[in-house]
Amino acid sequence: MSTSKILFSIIVFLFCWFLNISSGRAETNVEEELKALKIQFELMQKKFSALEETVAKQQSQITVQEETKQVYEERIKDLEGQLAQKENGPVVIPSARTPASKWIPEIGVVADAVATLDSAKTDEDGSDRLSLRELELVLGSAVDPFSRLDVTISFSDIEDPSLEEAYLTRFGLPLDTTARLGKFKPKVGKVLGVHRDSLDTVDEPLVIQRYFGVEGMNKSGLDFSKTLTLPWPITQQISFGILEGGNGEEGTAFGENDAPGIRRRPTLYSHLKNYFDLNDTTGFELGFSRLIGSRDEDASFEVQVLAADTTLTHSFNANQNLKLQGEVFNLNRKESFLDVEEDDGFGNPITVRHDIDGNLWGWYGLADLRFHPQWSMGFRYDNVQLVDNPLENPERIDIGYTGYLTFYQSELARWRVQFTHKDLATGKDDNAVYLQGTFAIGEHKHKLQ
């Protein structure tokens, strides 16, 4: 073989070897690039899925905001209608509601569940058990631009269903007066006129329970309210009304509820509220009330209640505030009791009837500290002289000490734990532990704090 052929063969071999190496490297680069593209695609797919979830959540929030916007638009139109009616006479503002929804009232439900551990030996309703103490069905709607109807129906696993409130509110009466007609809670003091879901404690103060009822008073009647416009920096509102006679459940101020004719003797009440700002962060409210009525079927008004309430609120910041609140009641009523004498002078026992003018006092003081957006704590002191037979309970005073801690899960869900110690006029002590859960859905007039 010639030298030229040998050189040509060597060159061809080297060229083929080089091509083979380059082809292997190219295949390796393609595989690596393919793997990298797959990884990038998977990452992009995950990002795309996350974006889809975010868009879905945002769309849901947009829907909720649109519904809320519609509700506010309806309320603004209703208020504009009332304002126009006051300024220019009857003017009807078209409602933003659809023809179908205008017949549907605002509907809400408030559930109040309470677990009670009580040291009392008597087996009272709700003691040493978990009960749905109250479930309120709340209905309300504007009847026309000038009036509104509100209804509250109460259910319980302890008591029978009852009509708690049902009243018509009429706005824009002469002298800018507002009237209520039906069954309602009177605007007296701070506690007597509110529902349990608006209380700072599980139960009402003892003076309210003993004088007016375990849940206060809700009576049929008619009342009027007016906000006074006076040339000084104080907001004042005056209220007065007439209610059917009697008390709430277990109340004693206006006699026994089962006494003959007790409901036929009306109770008259009036209340003056004064509020003014001490500074940008502190407000002060002072109120005075008077109730007069009868404790039996006669036509005389032998029962008079004078009351004063005060509330001081101070805001440390947007999420922390302090409230100091107190009420004092003076109950003046004629009382009668029988006294058994040992001897009439001839060895025979006799019974003598004594008539006395009762002048009783009851009051409470409460301090509530909201130290966190979702937490508050407080203490309440109670002191009340009882309406009963002076011979059976000569001291006639119940004293209570109550401490509580509240967790606000949300605007419409709340949990509370409370401990109460009572020194009773009977000479016995009573200790109770409460665990309360209060929950609300829908629209309702008396919202949670």
pLDDT by residue for the chain (449 residues), tens only, comes to 566 666 666 666 665 655 555 555 545 566 777 777 777 777 777 777 767 766 666 665 676 566 556 666 666 766 666 565 555 544 444 444 444 556 688 899 999 999 999 876 555 655 678 889 999 999 999 898 899 999 999 999 888 899 999 999 999 899 999 999 999 999 999 999 899 888 999 999 999 999 999 988 899 999 999 999 888 888 999 999 999 988 888 888 887 766 666 777 899 999 999 999 999 999 999 999 999 988 877 667 889 999 999 999 999 998 899 999 999 999 997 766 556 555 556 666 666 655 555 789 999 999 999 999 999 999 999 999 998 755 566 668 999 999 999 999 998 999 999 999 999 988 888 999 999 999 999 876 665 55
How many angstroms separate the CA atoms of 224 and 169, rounded? Answer: 10
Q: What is the pLDDT of residue 256?
A: 73
DSSP 8-state code for residue 256: -
Nearest Cα residue to 290 out of 225, 226, 239, 219: 239
Let me know if residue 267 belongs to a domain. yes
How many angstroms separate the CA atoms of 239 and 230, rounded? Answer: 16
Average pLDDT, the chain: 81
Task: Give the 3-state secondary structure of residue 139.
Answer: strand
Let me know if residue 224 belongs to a domain. yes
The verdict on 356 and 432 lying in the same domain is yes
How many angstroms separate the CA atoms of 104 and 426, rounded? Answer: 52
- Bridge partners (DSSP) of residue 166 are 151, 183
Q: What is the pLDDT of residue 92?
A: 43
The verdict on 186 and 282 lying in the same domain is yes
Q: Name the H helices within 227-298.
A: none
Query: Per residue in 262-277, pLDDT tens?
Result: 777 899 999 999 999 9
Let me know if residue 18 belongs to a domain. no
End residue of a domain, out of 53, 86, 104: 104
DSSP 8-state code for residue 198: G
The verdict on 60 and 199 lying in the same domain is no
DSSP 8-state code for residue 102: G
- How is residue 387 written in tokens? 């309406």
Q: What is the pLDDT of residue 98?
A: 45
Let me know if residue 265 belongs to a domain. yes
The verdict on 97 and 118 lying in the same domain is no
Nearest Cα residue to 287 out of 311, 304, 267: 311
End residue of a domain, out of 79, 104, 129: 104
Let me know if residue 19 belongs to a domain. no
The verdict on 219 and 79 lying in the same domain is no
- How is residue 76 written in tokens? 């603004």
The verdict on 134 and 48 lying in the same domain is no
The verdict on 113 and 36 lying in the same domain is no
Let me know if residue 13 belongs to a domain. no
Count up the domains in the chain and report the number: 2
Q: Number of C-alpha atoms within 13 angstroms, CB side, residue 146?
A: 13
The verdict on 229 and 294 lying in the same domain is yes
The verdict on 284 and 207 lying in the same domain is yes
End residue of a domain, out of 73, 104, 135: 104
The verdict on 147 and 90 lying in the same domain is no
- Vertex 360: Cα angle to 273 and 422 (nearest 5): 95
CATH code for the domain of 259: 2.40.160.10
For 345, residues 6+ apart whose C-beta sits below 8 A from its C-beta are: none
Count CB-CB contacts under 10 A for residue 202.
22
The verdict on 99 and 196 lying in the same domain is no
Let me know if residue 138 belongs to a domain. yes
- How much is the CA Rg of the chain, to the nearest whole Å? 36
Q: What is the pLDDT of residue 439?
A: 94
How many angstroms separate the CA atoms of 305 and 254, rounded? Answer: 10
Instruction: Print the domain residue range for 166.
Output: 106-442
The verdict on 249 and 292 lying in the same domain is yes
Helix, strand, coil percentages, rounded to 5, for the chain: 25, 45, 30
Let me know if residue 2 belongs to a domain. no
